[in-house]
Structure 1
């Protein structure tokens, strides 16, 4: 198969996995299904994909990390910054040291520097995998935000540690001062490049569109190009392209608050980004499955490097490493929790007891994924003297096994751990929504009254009643949100029930409209152009109510 056929087969596998996971009589995480389909592709077509890590990083990671940074709740990111930084920085360093010594103890033939490199590359977590696993279980929103924030930041920490471990394995030397300075440069400059690039591009786009206009699809295409530009620019100055992409996404969310984009453009852009996210996430796991047979063959061939002849020792190593990673994460989470409790008590803040099942779920939720796969493939083939890089194939297989076993452990362990668990109270989302609706309703009524006044000044006397009646009807749509503020809880509850009933009725009416238009188009009573335009209007209204 050529490259185009392989790409099409992988896209087909992504589409098929979405249906297959719903057809199965038992619950199975989508990433595991996609990994299995990737292995089937490799086995059936006998043609592997030569995975270039640099191309993999460039094509897949910038847009996905950009989108994660764009959509992650910023209030949660700032509120829990202490816990997120403890996991993204402290836990990664603890994992590199603890898991590195564990791997070297398990496999003495693997040099300590290579063991540290393997530990570093399995330290970053993947929120995509855990999101698919927890889609049907009630994971606390705040915990999910912490896990997402951790995964956005720990990629750079793990990759920097991995880079220094590989350099130590190749050169035989390591400087803590040099490593610390390089880490500061890589992190701070990467973040700065992401912020500056996004602000500059957004300003240039706004200036050009204001003076010369723009095509309808330009903002969408620019949003797709921003993460690649930030990533490449950061890599050119030897900073973290990954952190640049994350910073670009976070900055984009603040740029969006200007509200200058057209509503239709926002709707179209959301659909485009959802499709990109679904396709890239799926292809990453399909690629992982496609690489699995070759990794297994290479590891079996090099198992003698570990001092054993039986290939089943590979499974022992993989299980031991996964258990070690889970215990390190559990210990770190418990210590961090105890420190937070002590700080809260010292400040006189109320402290709520955290259930042990939630603590254990935090440990199991440390699922590995794309960063681990792509990073371990960058291990050099040869040392400077021309000899093969020690235990390279074994390290690649063990990293792949960590990904698979962490997915399995999370998919098996998280649902029973979280099922029926009484979660700590979350921030009052309904209260925030009501506040936003009341503020929006007040602004809407003021805008209607202002526009009504301007229309009445220009309208003839015969049309005054028409404009007044129209304004009254529009104001009535928003007035009940202001009335709710002064009403009791029972009345507010009744208003919400009335809103839900009205929404169902409106959706039924829109479906009836759409079917009638399609019927007219099928019988050639209206043109395709007219039917598409009217159906698009109905679809936009339905998207609003859904």
Structure 2
């Protein structure tokens, strides 16, 4: 029961931290508060103490987080921005591992060179969720934002695969660059193939289950939830990259679900569940890090570290030095990459160069992926001996994560202000363009079906008029959507206002409906199933109206 009670406390702390962040009068990234609260509940009177098996920790956190990153990232933009993305996600990762690895080994001799490389590798992945939380959604130029998102997606894979190789080399003492390069390519390719295959196979199974279960969304979502874990496990069993398998499975989902059609109810439910799961796992990862900090600090304080120091001040100095070294290397790399043709991170017209460099540099925030990987270092080696310097590695990685969050939360909001006059949103323009085409197609379909109904049915004059009126009302809605183009913006201002007012009035009506529904339920004038059915219908209609209201020109 103790572990169940601890899990309940941690889930409550996740919800509490998200609420407290919004109530604070200043901008504080949620991960910083979650780390603090995690350390707090580890102390009396709470004394929450959870020590997950590292493999279990890795399995619970990495696959779903990597899967959602891969699923969310726009594939077309990834292709067009592949050069700057690969420059950061692959080139910068190996550049950082090499330079920072040697620097860490020189500064902390107790860490062998492979262990120093492992620490540099695990610190390579960046967290775009934390960057968006710090800078604010929609405040970065679109191209720069997509490059940073693409980097965060791919460097998770490259950094964690390199981390695994370095960790094995650190324990065994055996390392060959030539063999490691060949093995890296083999496990990377194997992980990609397995991830794509599992995604296609599970979507096919999901489609078959939907037919047999009469399109029951709950069963389909369960199958969907299994995909990242199955891809990760299967890849690990075949000695290839489970990390890349989870990422590739997520990236494949967009195409596989388009080919193997999924129902609307299944898509809505799965979207909600994945948002909730990502929110909980991100929060739990940082809270668990905070939970470990008092124990790590006590272990470091009580045990003599082999380099002859147990000074917390010196350890904090190491954290700061590692962070500054990584920040400096990132700035240099971004500066050089931005000078190369077809690898720049800006759009046309070009953005101010210094804000771009500073934003790309301080966007190197470390987050949940780094944390999940470093916490998964085993307690014992294969021969049963304690894993060398495990607490030191976790402390240094945790310190760099925390420091990167703090520094970026101070710098990024000030830097992104320079982009206010340069922000463009091609996604918004694409939505307007696609809505116009979709609306015209819908109008044609409505008119065609209207004619079919009038020809097929034997109707009196009143019924014919009713069908025509309903069709005209629907066509008017779609016509307002189709008129929202930049070229006709002046003469369609009334249509824009009409759409916004329509959404606001519809939401007001739904809220009134919901209040009455609550009263009917409390007064036992309607049954529980009736209440739930009508409430779900209202929620869906309100979501639709809110989405329409957000699509403003």
User: How far apart, in 1, do the equivalents of 2:537 and 2:260 lie?
Assistant: 21
* Cα separation, partners in 2 of 1:364 and 1:485, compared to 1, 3 Å: closer
* Cα separation, partners in 2 of 1:249 and 1:209, compared to 1, 3 Å: same
Deviation at 1:333, TM superposition (A): 0.8
* Cα separation, partners in 2 of 1:511 and 1:382, compared to 1, 3 Å: closer
User: How far apart, in 1, do the equivalents of 2:82 and 2:326 lie?
Assistant: 23
Report the 3-state secondary structure (helix = DSSP H, G, I; strand = E; otherwise coil) of the residue aligned with 2:67: helix
User: 2:495 matched to which residue of 1?
Assistant: 495
User: 1:273 matched to which residue of 2?
Assistant: 274
- Paired residues for 1:234-273 under 5 Å: 234-258=235-259, 260-273=261-274
User: How far apart, in 1, do the equivalents of 2:348 and 2:419 lie?
Assistant: 21
* Cα separation, partners in 2 of 1:114 and 1:302, compared to 1, 3 Å: farther
User: 2:76 matched to which residue of 1?
Assistant: 75
* Cα separation, partners in 2 of 1:417 and 1:483, compared to 1, 3 Å: closer
User: 2:166 matched to which residue of 1?
Assistant: 165
User: 1:520 matched to which residue of 2?
Assistant: 520
TM-score of the aligned structures, taking structure 2 as reference length: 0.91
Report the 3-state secondary structure (helix = DSSP H, G, I; strand = E; otherwise coil) of the residue aligned with 2:217: coil
User: 1:460 matched to which residue of 2?
Assistant: 458
Would you say the 8 A contact 1:288–1:373 is kept in 2? yes
User: 2:38 matched to which residue of 1?
Assistant: 38
User: 2:541 matched to which residue of 1?
Assistant: 541
Deviation at 1:423, TM superposition (A): 5.6
Which stretch shifts more, 10-19 or 372-381?
372-381
User: How far apart, in 2, do the equivalents of 1:544 and 1:357 lie?
Assistant: 37
User: 1:195 matched to which residue of 2?
Assistant: 196
Deviation at 1:388, TM superposition (A): 5.2
Report the 3-state secondary structure (helix = DSSP H, G, I; strand = E; otherwise coil) of the residue aligned with 1:366: coil
Deviation at 1:378, TM superposition (A): 4.5
Would you say the 8 A contact 2:203–2:224 is kept in 1? no
Cα deviation per residue 1:338-392 (whole Å; 9 max; x = unaligned)? Answer: 1136999xxxx97725431221121111111233233334445566787655433
* Cα separation, partners in 2 of 1:79 and 1:319, compared to 1, 3 Å: same
Would you say the 8 A contact 2:66–2:243 is kept in 1? yes
Report the 3-state secondary structure (helix = DSSP H, G, I; strand = E; otherwise coil) of the residue aligned with 1:460: coil
Residue of 377, 393, 396 corresponding to 1:395? 393
Runs of 4+ in structure 1 off by over 6 angstroms are: 341-344, 383-387
User: 1:150 matched to which residue of 2?
Assistant: 151
* Cα separation, partners in 2 of 1:460 and 1:385, compared to 1, 3 Å: closer
Structure 1: 5+ residue runs without aligned partners?
none
Report the 3-state secondary structure (helix = DSSP H, G, I; strand = E; otherwise coil) of the residue aligned with 1:314: helix
User: How far apart, in 1, do the equivalents of 2:81 and 2:90 lie?
Assistant: 14
Which stretch shifts more, 250-259 or 405-414?
250-259
Alignment length (residue pairs): 543
Deviation at 1:239, TM superposition (A): 1.3
Deviation at 1:398, TM superposition (A): 0.9
Deviation at 1:203, TM superposition (A): 1.7
User: How far apart, in 1, do the equivalents of 2:383 and 2:196 lie?
Assistant: 42
Deviation at 1:476, TM superposition (A): 2.2
Would you say the 8 A contact 2:289–2:371 is kept in 1? yes
Report the 3-state secondary structure (helix = DSSP H, G, I; strand = E; otherwise coil) of the residue aligned with 2:306: helix
User: 2:207 matched to which residue of 1?
Assistant: 206
Query: Is 1:440–2:441 an aligned residue pair?
Result: no
Would you say the 8 A contact 2:84–2:342 is kept in 1? no
- Paired residues for 1:94-105 under 5 Å: 94-105=95-106
User: 2:362 matched to which residue of 1?
Assistant: 364
Which stretch shifts more, 93-102 or 130-139?
130-139
Which stretch shifts more, 301-310 or 116-125?
301-310
User: How far apart, in 1, do the equivalents of 2:389 and 2:285 lie?
Assistant: 25
Would you say the 8 A contact 2:202–2:224 is kept in 1? no
Deviation at 1:146, TM superposition (A): 1.9
User: How far apart, in 2, do the equivalents of 1:430 and 1:377 lie?
Assistant: 40
Deviation at 1:442, TM superposition (A): 1.8
Deviation at 1:69, TM superposition (A): 1.4
Would you say the 8 A contact 2:96–2:120 is kept in 1? yes
User: 1:475 matched to which residue of 2?
Assistant: 475
* Cα separation, partners in 2 of 1:29 and 1:378, compared to 1, 3 Å: closer
Root-mean-square deviation (Å): 2.6
Which stretch shifts more, 330-339 or 450-459?
450-459
* Cα separation, partners in 2 of 1:97 and 1:364, compared to 1, 3 Å: same
* Cα separation, partners in 2 of 1:470 and 1:390, compared to 1, 3 Å: closer
Would you say the 8 A contact 1:303–1:394 is kept in 2? no
Which stretch shifts more, 397-406 or 127-136?
127-136
User: How far apart, in 1, do the equivalents of 2:381 and 2:254 lie?
Assistant: 44
Report the 3-state secondary structure (helix = DSSP H, G, I; strand = E; otherwise coil) of the residue aligned with 1:220: helix
User: 2:317 matched to which residue of 1?
Assistant: 316
Report the 3-state secondary structure (helix = DSSP H, G, I; strand = E; otherwise coil) of the residue aligned with 1:475: helix
Which stretch shifts more, 42-51 or 237-246?
42-51
* Cα separation, partners in 2 of 1:280 and 1:440, compared to 1, 3 Å: same
User: How far apart, in 2, do the equivalents of 1:207 and 1:528 lie?
Assistant: 32
Deviation at 1:499, TM superposition (A): 1.3
Deviation at 1:302, TM superposition (A): 4.9
User: How far apart, in 1, do the equivalents of 2:474 and 2:447 lie?
Assistant: 10
* Cα separation, partners in 2 of 1:20 and 1:446, compared to 1, 3 Å: same
Cα deviation per residue 1:314-345 (whole Å; 9 max; x = unaligned)? Answer: 1111100000011111111111101136999x
User: How far apart, in 1, do the equivalents of 2:396 and 2:486 lie?
Assistant: 62
- Paired residues for 1:406-417 under 5 Å: 406-417=404-415
Query: Is 1:120–2:118 an aligned residue pair?
Result: no
Structure 2: 5+ residue runs without aligned partners?
547-553
Would you say the 8 A contact 2:17–2:30 is kept in 1? yes
Would you say the 8 A contact 1:302–1:393 is kept in 2? no
User: How far apart, in 1, do the equivalents of 2:129 and 2:452 lie?
Assistant: 51
User: How far apart, in 1, do the equivalents of 2:130 and 2:385 lie?
Assistant: 37
User: 2:228 matched to which residue of 1?
Assistant: 227
User: How far apart, in 2, do the equivalents of 1:326 and 1:96 lie?
Assistant: 13
Which stretch shifts more, 432-441 or 304-313?
304-313
